[in-house]
Amino acid sequence: MLKILPSRYRYPLFFVGILLMEIAGVLFKLVSLSEEGIEAIVIIGFLVFAFSIIAT
Amino acid sequence: MRETQDVPIRHLIPVEFLEPNWRFWSFVFISILGSILIAEYRVPVYDGLTDPFYTPTVLILPLVVLFRLTCYAYRKDYHRHLFYHPNSCPSDKRIDNAGRIYTGETGFFRIENIHRYFMYTAWAILPFFYYDIYYSTVYSGSLTVTLGTIILTINAVAVTFYTFSCHSVRHLIGGYRDCTNCPVNKNSKNLIYRFQSKLNSHHEAIAWTSLIMFVFVDLFIRGMVAGIVPNIILIHRGF
């Protein structure tokens, strides 16, 4: 199987991806950021999270 | 004679919770933050569909969480991926800390043996999932089957399969016997045992499927509330 990323890089990406999505939720509650800005953070977080799972 | 330095020092709090392990503490942090956000952004019952995170069964959620935390499938995952110890079945030494011996299900981690009792609490929660399906079909006063109903059904079936493919169930329905292939044990009970054993061999896959389904159903209902996802009506018939 093709190894894109070794696990020592994938694990931090996994946590960073989820953290970005959660931080977007916190920012939406606490900071008056535009909805587009929040959505952008969530999408980036999800892409990082998905990449950490796919790039085995 | 065994040398003194070979005997690991036993603490009341296991070393897994004390060492500066970024994987474990990252997991703890995102779990706590995630729980706060779930409590903060509530989802109402929408189109008769109840979000699995906001059912009345949430009251027994700690027991269900403990059922999953002590599950044989998940404990392998968190020992390997969060505690990073052991890395695999044949190695009991850590790559970054060769002096640290794997102590397994001893000390504090004896709590994992209570899985057999949490299994009953998991049984107790199952009817509520099926009640949510029933409610989603009759909430409008007529028989309604929507895409949401189908997704709730898949979720309920996944959780049921997960609960009944459990290793503790396997023990309960025949695994306790010394010999399963002896002539005296070749009966209908053995057939059930063999069927459950086949399910049990896929327990880890079923466990992750059911957990991912929980999140998917939650996102689906959130998407409907936000008006992004349509709830397609498949059957609508008056009584």
User: Is residue A42 assigned to a domain?
Assistant: yes
A26: nearest CA in chain B? B37
User: Is residue A11 assigned to a domain?
Assistant: yes
User: Is residue A2 assigned to a domain?
Assistant: no
User: Is residue B184 assigned to a domain?
Assistant: no
User: Is residue A1 assigned to a domain?
Assistant: no
Q: Looking at the partner chain, which of A11, A15, A25 has a beta carbon nearest the beta carbon of B37?
A: A25
The range of the structural domain enclosing residue A24 comes to: 7-54
What band does B1 get if pLDDT is binned at 50, 70 and 90? very low
The range of the structural domain enclosing residue B34 comes to: 12-165+202-237
CB contact, 8 Å: B96 with chain A?
no
Q: What is the pLDDT of residue B140?
A: 84
Domain count within chain B? 1
Rounded to a whole number of angstroms, the distance from the CA of B58 to the nearest CA of chain A is 21
User: Is residue B132 assigned to a domain?
Assistant: yes
> pLDDT digit string (tens) for B215-226?
999 999 999 998
Task: Name the percent of chain B lying above pLDDT 90.
Answer: 38
Residue B84 · residue B77 · CB < 8 Å: no
CB contact under 8 Å between B34 and A18, yes or no, is yes
User: Is residue B194 assigned to a domain?
Assistant: no
User: Is residue B192 assigned to a domain?
Assistant: no
CB contact under 8 Å between A11 and B81, yes or no, is yes
Rounded to 5 degrees, φ, ψ at A5 are -135, 135
Domain count within chain A? 1
pLDDT exceeds cutoff 90 at B154? yes
Global pTM? 0.86
Q: What is the dihedral of CA B86, B88, B93, B98, to 10 degrees?
A: -90
Mutation to test the A interface, candidates B37, B80, B82, B87, most A Cβ within 10 Å: B37
> pLDDT digit string (tens) for B35-64?
999 888 988 888 888 888 887 766 677 888
CB contact under 8 Å between A11 and B41, yes or no, is no
User: Is residue A34 assigned to a domain?
Assistant: yes
Q: What is the pLDDT of residue B4?
A: 52
Q: In b/e form, how buried is each residue of B32-44, taking b as 16+ CB within 10 angstroms?
A: ebeeebbeeeebe
Which residues of chain A are within 8 Å of residue B37 when distances are taken between CB atoms?
A: 22, 25-26
What B34-39 contacts at long range (C-beta under 8 Å, 24+ apart), as own/partner pairs, is B34/A18, B34/A22, B37/A22, B37/A25, B37/A26
Which residues of chain B are within 8 Å of residue A22 when distances are taken between CB atoms?
A: 30, 33-34, 37
Q: What is the pLDDT of residue A16?
A: 96
What band does B209 get if pLDDT is binned at 50, 70 and 90? very high
Taking phi over 0 as left and psi of -120 to 50 as alpha, with beta for the rest, B186 belongs to beta
Q: What is the dihedral of CA B11, B17, B22, B27, to 10 degrees?
A: 160
User: Is residue B78 assigned to a domain?
Assistant: yes
Q: Looking at the partner chain, which of A11, A22, A29 has a beta carbon nearest the beta carbon of B30?
A: A22
User: Is residue B126 assigned to a domain?
Assistant: yes
A29: nearest CA in chain B? B40
The average pLDDT across B123-143 equals: 90
pLDDT exceeds cutoff 70 at B32? yes
